[in-house]
């Protein structure tokens, strides 16, 4: 019992992303895994626990005497799973909520599992006929067809070499099949995807940090923009590519990003202030 | 599992940064990362952290018949293992080139330099000698395994104590640590390896390369030296041709001492202090203080790979903690030190006894005294737990 409380407390301390603005909290998660129809009381209980740290094994169950008279749709995101009438938590993290009824667990991890629709940075490892093998950080390498680029035809092949960086999204990603990447969207346009990065620096970070950088109006990005101007590509597999004007600036930005993971907004501001003062 | 491939842009960036004399973590070209040496409860157990690279070394001894060609000398046996937890590129039971190179270099550095007096390990000439076995396990690979392994090995050897023996005619009595204090090994000098990585056909040089820098290097030069300015071994790999002019500055770097900013040489100086340090550590242990492994595995934190870095918001930790503890119903039991592992009822992730830290929990230590004729001696930990060097307690 004590261990559980202490674990929960420690988890909250370490992984609770520091006071977040509502916009940062509402990370759009593109993979909603299950939907269910639930009773009022269950929804109420979930809403109550939003923002709390939960551990695997926690269960939300409806009141037994209530009949499903008025069923509301509940969307369970990553970390939550529905079994019968109960909702089980199977990842440790903070419960988040996007109104009206989307719930998910915001967990901190570094290992990436491919999911459909997510955009990631991959490294091309080999060319095999018509298909490139790309390492995305998952258990298997993803395949990327050479036709999945904007304006690519059988005669007009894209200029992709082994060791290049590609930014694409998953067309197929489930645990039974090899994941497939594409660098075009549904309409056939590149939309920012494709081969990139002749220079600049690629480094790894936790998945939580990558998601925080991708939220719309992210405070983290706004703060960093004031330090140096830079270009960046953020992959949901925990890979970030950065390019600033000089090598020094790029290295500083990389170290700042890695440090910002566990800082509160205030600490971040003071750190960035120090950097700005030193650089001028 | 395969290791993440190195992309072209990373390679270009690293080489460009090296040309501008910049390193990824902000070090200078001749800077070493922070070295931390921690000792465990057992004699001869040592963990070395070189930045994020972590290496564990355990020294143990056994009475065996000597080699036929050298009947009056003890035997030294070195074994280095790349644990799969160190890097996705390492697979267990796979004989890779890196493994062979590290093993050879470790042997050359420690055995051929004759840093340990093997004659003193002889008990009965031609019949019984001590075999000292040094096992090095790599726990995390962030570059420069050779240096970390050599530091761990020599620290563990200095820390190690072998049981005392008494010889009466043909009878050998091996005393347990309770009967007589164990004796340290006689070490003449402490050779330590320093690695230099060369880039761009030898034009640029970096000391203590981290893992990414190692991937783009052209060649590697490992020099083993001791504080008496003696070079114990030199090894150059990677096929790059080094001119004498390039090797000379490297040697000079190692030899210069004092207030020079050169960290690689300054590092060699503190090592003879290690001997004093290990006896200091033993004294502290008797007082029951918290140090050594117990320090490196603090119970307040979730054990993940640590970085010394960004501060975490801890404003009202104490109040929240007290609140939580008051809310709980059951109480924790404190196990008194000296309780054997088997007698504990449940395996607890929280280390509740003060002053004891163990590498693993398991059966009674059975190293060392299998061939003894007269006495059956069981070696016990002074700290009160039992020990199995192959497991690591999380």
pLDDT digits (tens, 9 = 90+) for A62-98: 776 555 555 667 888 888 888 888 888 988 888 888 8
The pair of three-digit structure tokens given for residue B321, joined into one six-digit string: 């903690």
A161 pLDDT exceeds 60?
yes
A134 pLDDT exceeds 80?
yes
Residues 6+ apart with CB under 8 A from A238: A110, A112, A137, A204, A205, A206, A207, A209, A210
**B236: which strand partners?**
B221
| The predicted structure's pLDDT at residue B278 | 39
**Lowest-confidence pick of A36-40, A137-141, B2-6, B193-197:** A36-40
A214, part of any domain: yes
Contact A5 B26 (CB under 8 A): no
B334, part of any domain: no
- Distance, CA of B375 to CA of B174 (rounded, Å): 7
A124 pLDDT exceeds 90?
yes
> Residue written as tokens 């269960």?
A59
- Distance, CA of B110 to CA of A241 (rounded, Å): 43
Contact B350 A3 (CB under 8 A): yes
Gap from B374 CA to chain A (nearest CA, Å): 48
Pick B72 or B261 by higher pLDDT: B72
A159 pLDDT exceeds 60?
yes
The pair of three-digit structure tokens given for residue B376, joined into one six-digit string: 């059956």
Q: Where does the pLDDT of residue A28 fall: very low under 50, low under 70, confident under 90, or very high at 90 and above? A: very low
Q: Where does the pLDDT of residue A3 fall: very low under 50, low under 70, confident under 90, or very high at 90 and above? A: low
Task: Determine what percent of chain A falls in helix, strand and coil, rounding each to the nearest 5.
Answer: 25, 30, 45
Q: Where does the pLDDT of residue B54 fall: very low under 50, low under 70, confident under 90, or very high at 90 and above? A: very high
Q: Which helix (H) or strand (E) holds A12?
A: helix A2-15
B113, part of any domain: yes
Average pLDDT on B94-113 reads 89
Q: Do residue A163 and residue A189 come from a single domain?
A: yes
A250 pLDDT exceeds 70?
yes
Q: Do residue A205 and residue A189 come from a single domain?
A: no
- Nearest residue of A to residue B309, measured between CA atoms: A259
| The predicted structure's pLDDT at residue A38 | 53
| The predicted structure's pLDDT at residue B25 | 83
For residue A16, CA distances in Å to A13, A81, A209, B244 come to 6, 22, 12, 56
Contact B7 A1 (CB under 8 A): no
Contact B17 A198 (CB under 8 A): no
**pLDDT tens sequence across B299-340:** 433 333 444 554 555 556 667 777 777 776 554 555 445 444
| The predicted structure's pLDDT at residue A126 | 92
A219, part of any domain: yes
- Optimal mutation site among A123, A127, A159, interface B, most CBs of chain B within 10 A: A123
What is the strand order of the sheet A59-60 is part of? A59-60, A86-89, A80-83
Whether residue B5 lies within 8 A of chain A, CB to CB, comes out as yes
Domain end residue (candidates: A50, A84, A106): A106
Contact A1 B329 (CB under 8 A): yes
Q: Where does the pLDDT of residue A233 fall: very low under 50, low under 70, confident under 90, or very high at 90 and above? A: very high
A152, part of any domain: yes
**B115: which strand partners?**
none
Whether residue B327 lies within 8 A of chain A, CB to CB, comes out as yes
| The predicted structure's pLDDT at residue B250 | 57
Task: Report the mean per-residue pLDDT for chain A.
Answer: 80
Q: Which helix (H) or strand (E) holds B184?
A: strand B183-184
CB B10 within 8 A of CB B22: no
Pick A253 or B363 by higher pLDDT: A253
ipTM: 0.77
For residue A213, the domain's CATH number is: 3.30.1370.10
Host domain of residue A46 = 30-106
- Distance, CA of A78 to CA of A32 (rounded, Å): 7
Host domain of residue B58 = 27-191
**Lowest-confidence pick of A9-13, A133-137, B212-216, B264-268:** B264-268
Phi, psi values for residue A14, rounded to 5°:
-85, -40
Q: Where does the pLDDT of residue A30 fall: very low under 50, low under 70, confident under 90, or very high at 90 and above? A: very low
**pLDDT tens sequence across B142-192:** 989 999 999 999 989 988 989 999 988 888 889 988 888 888 899 898 888
Residues 6+ apart with CB under 8 A from B360: B387, B388, B389, B390, B391, B392, B393
Contact A202 B350 (CB under 8 A): no
For residue B93, the domain's CATH number is: 3.30.230.70
Average pLDDT on A192-210 reads 88
In this prediction the pTM is 0.70
B339, part of any domain: no
The pair of three-digit structure tokens given for residue B21, joined into one six-digit string: 């004399």
- Nearest residue of A to residue B6, measured between CA atoms: A163
Question: How many structural domains are present in chain A?
Answer: 3
**pLDDT tens sequence across B62-76:** 999 999 999 999 999
Whether residue B69 lies within 8 A of chain A, CB to CB, comes out as no
Contact A247 B13 (CB under 8 A): yes
Q: Do residue A188 and residue A206 come from a single domain?
A: no
**Lowest-confidence pick of A105-114, A127-136, B265-274, B305-314:** B265-274
Nearest-CB residue to A3 (from B6, B11, B349)? B349
Average pLDDT on B283-311 reads 43
The pair of three-digit structure tokens given for residue A236, joined into one six-digit string: 């949901």
Contact A259 B310 (CB under 8 A): yes
Cβ contacts from A onto B, under 8 A: 101
**pLDDT tens sequence across A14-25:** 544 443 333 333
Whether residue B313 lies within 8 A of chain A, CB to CB, comes out as yes
Contact B325 A5 (CB under 8 A): yes
Contacts of A201 in chain B (CB under 8 A): 9-10, 13
A111, part of any domain: no
- Nearest residue of A to residue B311, measured between CA atoms: A263
Q: Do residue A267 and residue A221 come from a single domain?
A: yes
CB A113 within 8 A of CB A230: no
- Nearest residue of A to residue B301, measured between CA atoms: A10
| The predicted structure's pLDDT at residue B305 | 41
B169, part of any domain: yes
| The predicted structure's pLDDT at residue A132 | 93
Rg (CA), chain A: 21
Contacts of B26 in chain A (CB under 8 A): 251, 255
A15, part of any domain: no
| The predicted structure's pLDDT at residue B272 | 35
Domain end residue (candidates: A106, A133, A168): A106
B109, part of any domain: yes
Average pLDDT on A170-194 reads 89
Nearest-CB residue to A267 (from B5, B9, B311)? B311
- Bridging pattern class, strands B45-50 and A239-244: unpaired
B345 pLDDT exceeds 90?
no
A57, part of any domain: yes
Rg (CA), chain B: 23
A137, part of any domain: yes
| The predicted structure's pLDDT at residue B225 | 82
Q: Where does the pLDDT of residue A165 fall: very low under 50, low under 70, confident under 90, or very high at 90 and above? A: very high
| The predicted structure's pLDDT at residue A108 | 79
B209, part of any domain: no
The pair of three-digit structure tokens given for residue B17, joined into one six-digit string: 């940064």
The residue among A225, A161, A255 whose CA lies nearest residue B12 is: A161
Contacts of A10 in chain B (CB under 8 A): 300-302
The pair of three-digit structure tokens given for residue B204, joined into one six-digit string: 């640029």
CB B329 within 8 A of CB A1: yes
Q: Do residue A186 and residue A236 come from a single domain?
A: no
Domain end residue (candidates: A174, A196, A218): A196
A3, part of any domain: no
The residue among B139, B109, B119 whose CA lies nearest residue B38 is: B139
The residue among A238, A206, A244 whose CA lies nearest residue A224 is: A244
- Nearest residue of A to residue B350, measured between CA atoms: A3
Q: Where does the pLDDT of residue A42 fall: very low under 50, low under 70, confident under 90, or very high at 90 and above? A: confident
Task: Choose the most confident range, by mean pLDDT, from A110-114, B331-335, B390-394.
Answer: A110-114
Contacts of A163 in chain B (CB under 8 A): 5-8, 11
Q: How far is CA A129 from the centre of its chain?
A: 32
B162, part of any domain: yes
**Lowest-confidence pick of B136-150, B227-241, B291-305:** B291-305
Average pLDDT on B25-51 reads 85
CB B163 within 8 A of CB B368: yes
A207 pLDDT exceeds 50?
yes
Whether residue B394 lies within 8 A of chain A, CB to CB, comes out as no
Gap from A97 CA to chain B (nearest CA, Å): 24
The pair of three-digit structure tokens given for residue A245, joined into one six-digit string: 């004007």
Contacts of A164 in chain B (CB under 8 A): 7-9
Annotate A157-201 with DSSP letters as a single string.
-----TT-EEEEEEEE--TTS--EEESS-TTS--TT-EEE-SSSE
- Distance, CA of A237 to CA of A250 (rounded, Å): 21
């Amino acid at each position: 019992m004590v261990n559980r409380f202490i674990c929960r407390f420690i988890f909250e301390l370490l992984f609770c992303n520091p006071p977040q603005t509502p916009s940062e909290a509402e990370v759009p998660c593109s993979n909603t895994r299950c939907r269910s129809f639930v009773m009022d009381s269950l929804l109420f209980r979930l809403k109550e626990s939003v923002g709390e740290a939960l551990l695997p094994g926690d269960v939300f169950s409806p009141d037994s005497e209530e009949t499903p008279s008025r069923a509301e749709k509940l969307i369970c995101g990553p970390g939550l799973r529905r079994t019968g009438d109960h909702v089980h938590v199977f990842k440790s993290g903070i419960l988040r909520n996007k109104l009206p009824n989307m719930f998910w667990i915001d967990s901190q991890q570094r290992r990436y599992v491919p999911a459909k629709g997510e955009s990631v940075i991959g490294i091309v490892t080999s060319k095999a006929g018509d298909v490139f093998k790309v390492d995305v950080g998952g258990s298997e390498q993803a395949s990327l067809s050479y036709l999945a680029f904007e304006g690519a035809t059988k005669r007009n092949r894209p200029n992709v070499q082994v060791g290049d960086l590609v930014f694409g999204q998953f067309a197929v990603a489930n645990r039974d099949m090899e994941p497939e990447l594409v660098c075009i969207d549904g309409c056939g346009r590149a939309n920012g995807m494709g081969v990139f990065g002749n220079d600049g620096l690629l480094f790894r970070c936790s998945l939580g940090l990558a998601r925080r950088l991708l939220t719309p109006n992210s405070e983290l990005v706004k703060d960093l923009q004031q330090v140096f101007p830079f270009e960046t590509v953020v992959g949901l597999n925990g890979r970030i590519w950065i390019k600033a004007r000089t090598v020094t600036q790029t290295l500083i930005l990389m170290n700042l990003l890695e440090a910002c993971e566990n800082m509160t907004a205030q600490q971040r501001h003071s750190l960035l202030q120090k950097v700005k003062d030193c650089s001028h | 599992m395969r290791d993440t491939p190195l992309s072209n842009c990373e390679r270009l960036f690293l080489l460009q940064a090296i040309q501008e004399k910049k390193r990824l973590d902000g070090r200078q070209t001749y800077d070493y990362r922070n070295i931390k040496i921690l000792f465990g409860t057992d004699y001869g157990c040592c963990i070395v952290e070189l930045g994020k690279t972590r290496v564990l070394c355990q020294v143990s001894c056994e009475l065996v018949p000597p080699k036929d060609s050298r009947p009056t000398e003890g035997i030294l046996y070195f074994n280095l293992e790349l644990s799969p937890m160190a890097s996705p590129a390492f697979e267990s039971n796979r004989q890779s080139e890196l493994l062979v190179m590290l093993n050879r270099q470790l042997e050359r550095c420690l055995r051929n330099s004759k840093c340990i007096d093997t004659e003193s390990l002889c008990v009965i000439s031609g019949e019984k000698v001590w075999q000292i076995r040094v096992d090095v396990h790599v726990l995390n690979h962030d570059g420069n395994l050779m240096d970390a392994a050599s530091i761990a090995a020599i620290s563990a050897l200095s820390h190690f104590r072998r049981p005392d023996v008494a010889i009466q005619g043909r009878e050998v009595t091996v005393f347990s640590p309770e009967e007589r204090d164990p004796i340290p090994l006689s070490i003449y000098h402490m050779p330590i390896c320093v690695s230099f990585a060369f880039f761009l056909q030898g034009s640029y040089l970096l000391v203590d390369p981290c893992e990414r820098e190692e991937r783009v290097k052209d060649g590697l030069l490992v020099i083993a030296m001791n504080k008496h300015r003696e070079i114990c071994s030199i090894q150059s790999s990677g096929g790059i041709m080094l001119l004498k002019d390039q090797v000379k500055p490297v040697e000079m770097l190692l030899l210069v001492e004092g207030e020079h900013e050169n960290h690689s040489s300054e590092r060699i100086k503190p090592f003879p202090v290690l001997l004093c340090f290990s006896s200091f550590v033993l004294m502290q242990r008797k007082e029951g203080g918290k140090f050594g492994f117990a320090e490196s595995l603090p119970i307040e934190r979730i054990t993940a790979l640590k970085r010394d870095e960004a501060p975490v918001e801890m404003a009202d930790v104490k109040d929240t903690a007290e609140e939580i503890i008051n809310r709980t119903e059951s109480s924790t039991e404190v196990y008194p030190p000296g309780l054997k592992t088997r007698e504990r009822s449940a395996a607890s992730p929280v280390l509740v006894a003060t002053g004891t830290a163990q590498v693993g929990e398991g059966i009674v230590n059975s190293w060392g005294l299998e061939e003894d004729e007269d006495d059956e001696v069981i070696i016990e930990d002074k700290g009160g737990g039992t020990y199995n060097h192959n497991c690591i307690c999380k």
